[in-house]
Amino acid sequence: MQIYEELQARGLIAQVTDEPQIRELINHGGAKFYIGFDPTADSLHVGHFMALCLMKRLQMAGNKPVVLLGGGTGFIGDPSGRTDMRSMMHAETIRHNCECFKKQMERFIEFGEDEAIVVNNADWLLDLNYIDLLRDVGPCFSVNAMLRAECYRQRMERGLSFFEFNYMIMQAYDFLYLHSHYGCNMQFGGDDQWSNMLAGTDLIRRKTGKDAYDLTNLIHGEEEARRAREASRALFAGAGDDSHMPETLLGEGDVPDDGIRLLDLLAACGLASSKTEARRLIQQGGVSIDGSRVNTIDFVVAKADLFHGIKIKKGKKIYRRVVVK
C-alpha cells in the first residue's frame, strides 16, 4: 500500500483538488507541502495533532514539509468555524506562542537541511503595503465568490467584520508566497479550511499560470475526536498516563505471522523517522516495551502480543500504544 492509499484508509483525506496528480506527487515523494498553524494559544491542540500526524507520515514517505507559523495571520484570526470574532492578541503573545509551537513540533517532525523547514508569515505579511497588496492581488478575488464560502456564509447572520473578511486573502497570499519563494506545490489543512485553500490555488493560477493543489483532512465522529484529544494531552503536555496514550492501529496483514522487528515497528507508528533513527534510539536505551527497556537491535515483537496491544515508550515523555486489529 502506498502512502496516499494509506492516508485514505486511515480516514485522513477528506477533499482534494486533483486526486490523480496529488496521488502521483505524494506517492513518489514529489510534494513540497505546507500546513499553517495560527498561534492562538501557547500549546498545540487536537486539530494540530492530526495535522502533525499527516505531516510526519508524508515526511517518512520522502515528501518535504513546510511548517507555516501564523505570526502575521494571528493578528487577524481565522473566522472558519467561529460564531463570533476571535479576541485580538498582542504582538508579544503571538511571538511567544509561535516559539512554543516550534519547540513542541521539534519533538515530532525532523527539521534541518533536506528535511522540514519552519517559516513565519509575519516575515512577509507585516511588511506589506496595503495599496500595493490591493493592486497586486485584489483583482484576483471576487467578493461574491468569497461571500458564498462556507466559512463566511455561516457568519453573515451574526455579523462578519471587514477585519476578519481579509483572512482568506491573507491565507491565499501565503500560498502564493510559499509557492514563489520555497517551491511549495501543495497545501494541507482541516476540512473547514477548504474555501481559503481553494482561494490560494486560484491565486497561484491567476498570478503564475501554474497549478498547485489542496488536500484536507477531517476527524470523523465523536470516538475519533475523543482519541485525538487523549493523544494530544499525552504528546503535547508530555504526560505518561496510560489513559491518555495515543494509539496506532495496524492491520493484521501489516504484521508477518512470525512478528515484526522493533526497528520496523518504530518507523511504522511514527516514533522514528527511519530505521537508522530507530536503531540509534534502541542502542542508546531510549525504547521500552510495556515497561521493559529493549537493548537488542534485532528484537522482534510477537504478533500475538500486538493483538493484545503493547505500550511503547520513547525517551522520557513520548508514549504510544500499538494494536493489531
CATH number at residue 78: 3.40.50.620
CATH of the domain at 250: 3.10.290.10
- 143 and 263 in a single domain? The answer is no
- 211 and 274 in a single domain? The answer is no
In-domain check, residue 226: no
Domain boundary among 179, 197, 217: 217
- 65 and 197 in a single domain? The answer is yes
Residue 269 φ then ψ, to 5°: -100, 10
pLDDT at 75: 86
- Split into its structural domains, the chain has a count of 2
- 183 and 253 in a single domain? The answer is no
Helix axes 167-182, 194-208, angle to 10 degrees: 50
In the block, cell 496595503 appears at 130
pLDDT at 85: 54
Using alpha carbons, select from 195, 200, 192 the residue that is nearest to residue 173. 200
In-domain check, residue 266: yes
pLDDT at 321: 84
pTM, two decimals, is 0.65
pLDDT at 224: 47
In-domain check, residue 273: yes
Using alpha carbons, select from 78, 97, 275 the residue that is nearest to residue 165. 78
Residue 229 φ then ψ, to 5°: -60, -45
- 156 and 14 in a single domain? The answer is yes
Residue 256: give the domain boundaries. 246-324
- 57 and 181 in a single domain? The answer is yes
- 156 and 292 in a single domain? The answer is no
- 88 and 135 in a single domain? The answer is yes
* Sites in the chain below the pLDDT cut of 50: 81-84, 219-225, 238-241, 243-244
Hey, what amino acid is at 115? Answer: E
User: Quick one: three-class SS letters along 261-295?
Assistant: EHHHHHHHCCCCCCHHHHHHHHHCCCEEECCEECC
pLDDT at 183: 95
Sign of CA dihedral 12, 16, 18, 22: negative
- 165 and 289 in a single domain? The answer is no
In the block, cell 501564523 appears at 70
